[in-house]
Amino acid sequence: MSAEDREGRPGGGPVVGAQTISRAFAVLRLFREHRGDLGVGMISKELGLNVSTTHRIVRALVSEGYLAQNEDSERYYLGTGALLLGQAAHRNFGLDVVYPVLQQVAASTGESVNLGVLSGDTAVVVERIESAKPLRFTQPPGTRVPLHASSMGKVLLAFNAETEQRMLRGVKRLEQLTPNTFGTPKELRSELERTRARGWSIDNEELTQGVRCVGAPICDGAGIARAAIAIQAPAVRVPDERFDELGPVAMRAAKEISALLPPGHTF
């Protein structure tokens, strides 16, 4: 038995408890982020675990239905347990009632629409409706975007004072992702003031060159934003004057979503 498996256990017994749970979640995250089946060797290498430890964790997840094995390749993929858990999260997040609103926005604008939630210093895309137009920018669920350089992120800052203060406290420079990214807290705070005044935000090619977006906050009963929606399109389809068309659409949809969520619901 390796030192890894004996770590922290009197008498050299196998690792149990929090460390094992943490490793199991690490395995599941790897499957979430990786397209296709994975073998034990690849999982072991990616997570820095020895093969025997990895094999035990994988077999435990298989026994609970969270992973399944491809009998031909002997590799593993997410099982029905993971699928059912994801569906339960989808319902509990209220995404089943939110989805039609996103579809309506996508249909009326012809552009892609994202729903994102606050996660630390990023916004995580949890739902997306793709534009039917061939020229579009892909940002699948699970994508994390920085708060200071995205339309969703800027409304999450503008309408969540605690997050704004935490993120900008003591910061002198912000990561410059494109020539249009706001580079200092002072510049960003001025933009957040404009965002609060309008009720919606603009991403003027600040995260990705060639992509323009508008965002609107989904606020709880106290008026604090913990989620947001964004309408996203190639810059060639969003001249300056179209911001004023898309922004109010995003804001109305965000308010509709807020009204649909159960009282006390937070993302």
Q: How far apart are the first and last CA of the chain?
A: 43
Across residues 169-174, what is the average pLDDT? 93
* pLDDT confidence tier of residue 16, bands split at 50, 70 and 90: low
Q: Does residue 188 contact residue 160 with C-beta atoms inside 8 Å?
A: no
* Structure-token pair, residue 156: 């999450």
User: Side chain identity at 113, as an amino acid letter?
Assistant: V
- Please state which of the ranges 100-109, 112-121, 132-141, 180-189 shows the lowest mean pLDDT: 132-141
Q: Please, is 186 exposed, middle or buried when counting C-beta atoms within 10 Å of its C-beta (0-12, 13-18, 19+)?
A: exposed
Q: What is the pLDDT of residues 253-265, one digit of tens each?
A: 999 999 888 766 6
* Structure-token pair, residue 145: 């975007």
Q: Which DSSP symbol is given to 38?
A: B
Count of other CB atoms within 10 angstroms of residue 46: 15
Q: Please, is 263 exposed, middle or buried when counting C-beta atoms within 10 Å of its C-beta (0-12, 13-18, 19+)?
A: exposed
**pTM for the predicted model, two decimal places:** 0.77
Q: What is the pLDDT of residue 11?
A: 41
* Structure-token pair, residue 183: 């580079």
Nearest to 188 by CA among 171, 205, 208: 171
Please, what is the average pLDDT of the chain? 90
Q: 């994102």: which residue's tokens?
A: 116
DSSP result, 216-252: EEEE-TTS-EEEEEEEEEEGGG--HHHHHHHHHHHHH
User: Side chain identity at 145, as an amino acid letter?
Assistant: V
Q: What is the pLDDT of residue 9?
A: 43
* pLDDT confidence tier of residue 91, bands split at 50, 70 and 90: confident
Q: What is the pLDDT of residues 41-73, one digit of tens each?
A: 999 999 999 999 999 999 999 999 999 999 889
Where is pLDDT greater, at 13 or 136?
136
- Please state which of the ranges 83-97, 108-122, 154-168, 171-185 shows the lowest mean pLDDT: 83-97
